[in-house]
Amino acid sequence: MNSMLKTLLTVSSVLLLANCNRLVKEEAYLEAESTPSLKVVDGKDMPRTSNNLNIPEVDARGSKVAPDSRPPEMAFARRRSEDENVVIIESQGMPTIEIFNDKDAWDLMIDDHGYNWQLLSEDQENCQATFRFYDPITEEVSNRNFFKKLFTINSNYVDRSGEYVLTCLKLPQKQQIWLQTIDFEAPSSYVVDDLFIHIYEAATATETAATE
């Protein structure tokens, strides 16, 4: 009985000390007072607590209001023959065909380039020829009926039809043919590819053996 009573007294003492310790720790919080509210300093704004950001005003008009929805202009196709005698490159900002074989650049320029190209004038002395290009996509769009035009993205298609100039330069080691607009600017890659494919195929075509 004495040992049992001693154990109970020990446990009671431990619990009493724990409660006293907790009460001592909590006394500081019970006696704490609220801090004074913030005051506005002269010439200063109160801190923003709404987490809202002001949308800046944009002073722009016309095409600057929204980004252009048209896709960027693609680069024209570069080509290089297996023997590297005919290459399509960009030279001084202009699409250019360089020829290292015995094909004559002038003959290649005034050759038939397909239904969409019409020769308007030629100046062999200056190795220059002017062509009229008829954009086949524009013709296709114009031939569609009214309802098809309503549901097509080609309604904003830019007509590439117009006059273009082919110029050649004959050097001792190579010949060059380049294409530009009538205003001496780089043409659309679509126009370049449509024309240069004909010149490239003619420049790389193997000569037929002479018949007896």
Q: What is the mean pLDDT of each run of 10 residues along the chain (212 residues)?
A: 61 57 51 68 66 63 52 78 94 94 95 94 96 85 56 66 95 95 92 95 71 38
The pLDDT score that the predictor gives to residue 75 is 84
Domain extent for 174: 79-204
The pLDDT score that the predictor gives to residue 170 is 94
The pLDDT score that the predictor gives to residue 95 is 95
User: Is residue 48 assigned to a domain?
Assistant: no
Number of domains in the chain: 1
- Comparing CA positions, the residue from 169, 175, 167 lying closest to residue 102 is 175
The pLDDT score that the predictor gives to residue 17 is 55
The pLDDT score that the predictor gives to residue 136 is 86
User: Is residue 131 assigned to a domain?
Assistant: yes
User: Is residue 61 assigned to a domain?
Assistant: no
Residue 75 tokens read as 């680069």
The pLDDT score that the predictor gives to residue 212 is 42
The pLDDT score that the predictor gives to residue 76 is 86
The pLDDT score that the predictor gives to residue 120 is 96
User: Is residue 17 assigned to a domain?
Assistant: no
User: Is residue 6 assigned to a domain?
Assistant: no
Q: What CATH number has the domain bearing residue 168?
A: 3.30.530
Residue 18 vs residues 11, 15, 23, 25, 29: alpha-carbon distances, Å: 11, 5, 9, 11, 18
User: Is residue 189 assigned to a domain?
Assistant: yes
Instruction: Please check whether residue 188 is in contact with residue 160, taking contact to mean a CB–CB distance below 8 angstroms.
Output: yes
The pLDDT score that the predictor gives to residue 211 is 34
- Comparing CA positions, the residue from 153, 125, 132 lying closest to residue 141 is 153
